[in-house]
C-alpha cells in the first residue's frame, strides 16, 4: 500500500491530516513559487467566475504533476476536475493525495499534453497549463489542443525569456517581417537522461518570451490575453517577470 514515505521524494507540500504532511524536495527558498502560483491562479479565476459559477465548472489541469492545483480546485468545490500528466509516478502521488483527502470530484489520467483533444477528454469551462509550456518540444500544438477543449478560460503559467525585437528578411533583403516575440530552444538532455521528472516528454524544450506567448495564445484560438500582476510577496521569479501567469479568454 502506498504511503507518504514510499512515494517520496515529493515536489509539493500537502497536508494530509492523520496521514501526515509531505515534504518538498525543492530548496526552501524555491518552495514559495507554489503559493504565488496559487494566489495568481485564484486571482484569474475569481475575475472570470462568480462563486455560483465556480460550483458548476468542469476543469482540466494539463501537466497536473502531483495534483497540487487540481486538489486546490477540487477544494473550491468545482463540479469536476480532470488532471492529466505524461508521468505515471506523478499520477500515483496525485491519486494518493486526492484519496487521502476524500475528494470525489477529481480524477486523473495519463496523457501527453500534445495529444489532448475534445474526442479523448471532452470540453471544459476552465483549463490550467501551469509550469508546462517551457518544457515542451511543440508548445504550439499543445496550446491549440488546449484551446480546442477550453470553453471559457485557460490560465497559463510559464518561465519566459527576455524579449527580442527586430525584423527578419523574408525572401529578399527588401522584404522583411517584424518578430512577433521569440521562442528559445533549451536543451534538457542531461536532465532528461538522468530521468529528472521535471523535464518534458522529450529532451528539447521551447521557452517563449512574454510577447511570443501572447501571440501563440491568440493564434491558438483565444481572443483576449490578460497578464496577472504578482502579489506584493510574490516568489522572486514571478516578481521579476521571469515567470508569468496569464488568463487566456475564449
SS (H, E, C) 38-104: HHHHHHHHHHHCCHHHHCCCEEEEECCCCCHHHHHHHHCCCCEEEEEECCHHHHHHHHHHHHHCCCC
User: What is the pLDDT confidence band of residue 192, given thresholds at 50, 70 and 90?
Assistant: confident
User: What is the pLDDT confidence band of residue 239, given thresholds at 50, 70 and 90?
Assistant: very high
Residue 37 has pLDDT above 90, yes or no: yes
User: What is the pLDDT confidence band of residue 125, given thresholds at 50, 70 and 90?
Assistant: very high
Q: Which parts of 118-194 are beta strand (E)?
A: 124-130, 150-159, 167-172, 175-178, 183-187
17-163+208-249 CATH: 3.40.50.150
**Averaged confidence pLDDT in the chain:** 96
Domain positions in the chain are 17-163+208-249
pLDDT digits 0-9 by tens, 4-29: 999 999 999 999 999 999 999 999 99
| Residues contacting residue 16 through CB under 8 Å, at least 6 positions apart | 4, 22, 97, 100, 101
The pLDDT value recorded for residue 114 is: 87
Residue 70 has pLDDT above 90, yes or no: yes
35, three cell numbers:
503559493
| Residues contacting residue 218 through CB under 8 Å, at least 6 positions apart | 225
- In this prediction, what percent of the chain has a pLDDT beyond 90? 94
165, three cell numbers:
525585437
In terms of pLDDT, which residue wins out, 214 or 196?
214
Least confident of 55-59, 80-84, 111-115: 111-115
Question: Of 221, 243, 242, 216, which Cα lies nearest the Cα of 138?
Answer: 216
Residue 194 has pLDDT above 90, yes or no: no
The pLDDT value recorded for residue 204 is: 94
- Asked if 69 and 128 count as a contact pair (C-beta separation under 8 A), the reply is yes
Separation CA 194–CA 152 (nearest Å)? 38
The pLDDT value recorded for residue 161 is: 98
With the CA atoms of 31, 135, 242 and 232 taken in that order, what torsion angle do they form, in degrees rounded to the nearest 10? Answer: -40
The pLDDT value recorded for residue 247 is: 98
Residue 1 has pLDDT above 90, yes or no: no
Question: Of 52, 82, 45, which Cα lies nearest the Cα of 67?
Answer: 82
The pLDDT value recorded for residue 198 is: 84
The pLDDT value recorded for residue 196 is: 85
Report the DSSP beta bridge partners of residue 244: 158
User: What is the pLDDT confidence band of residue 199, given thresholds at 50, 70 and 90?
Assistant: confident
Residue 206 has pLDDT above 90, yes or no: yes
- Asked if 118 and 35 count as a contact pair (C-beta separation under 8 A), the reply is no
pLDDT digits 0-9 by tens, 152-180: 999 999 999 999 999 999 999 999 999 99
Amino acid at each position: 500500500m502506498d504511503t507518504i514515505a514510499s512515494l517520496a521524494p515529493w515536489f509539493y507540500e500537502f497536508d494530509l491530516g492523520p496521514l501526515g504532511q509531505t515534504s518538498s524536495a525543492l530548496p526552501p527558498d524555491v518552495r514559495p513559487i507554489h503559493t504565488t502560483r496559487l494566489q495568481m491562479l485564484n486571482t484569474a479565476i475569481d475575475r472570470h467566475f462568480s462563486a455560483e459559477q465556480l460550483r458548476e465548472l468542469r476543469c482540466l489541469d494539463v501537466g497536473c504533476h502531483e495534483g497540487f492545483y487540481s486538489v486546490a480546485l477540487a477544494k473550491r468545490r468545482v463540479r469536476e476536475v480532470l488532471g492529466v500528466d505524461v508521468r505515471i509516478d506523478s499520477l500515483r502521488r496525485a491519486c494518493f493525495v486526492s484519496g487521502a483527502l476524500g475528494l470525489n470530484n477529481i480524477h486523473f489520467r495519463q496523457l501527453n499534453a500534445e495529444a489532448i483533444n475534445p474526442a479523448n477528454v471532452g470540453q471544459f469551462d476552465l483549463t490550467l497549463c501551469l509550469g508546462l509550456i517551457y518544457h515542451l518540444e511543440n508548445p504550439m500544438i499543445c496550446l491549440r489542443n488546449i484551446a480546442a477543449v477550453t470553453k471559457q478560460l485557460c490560465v497559463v503559467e510559464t518561465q519566459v525569456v527576455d524579449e527580442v525585437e527586430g525584423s527578419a528578411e523574408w525572401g529578399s533583403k527588401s522584404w522583411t517581417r517584424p518578430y512577433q516575440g521569440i521562442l528559445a530552444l533549451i536543451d534538457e538532455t542531461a536532465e532528461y537522461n538522468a530521468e529528472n521528472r521535471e523535464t518534458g516528454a522529450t529532451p528539447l524544450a521551447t521557452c517563449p518570451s512574454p510577447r511570443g506567448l501572447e501571440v501563440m495564445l491568440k493564434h491558438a484560438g483565444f481572443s483576449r490575453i490578460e497578464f496577472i500582476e504578482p502579489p506584493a510577496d510574490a516568489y522572486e521569479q514571478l516578481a521579476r517577470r521571469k515567470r508569468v501567469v496569464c488568463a487566456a479568454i475564449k
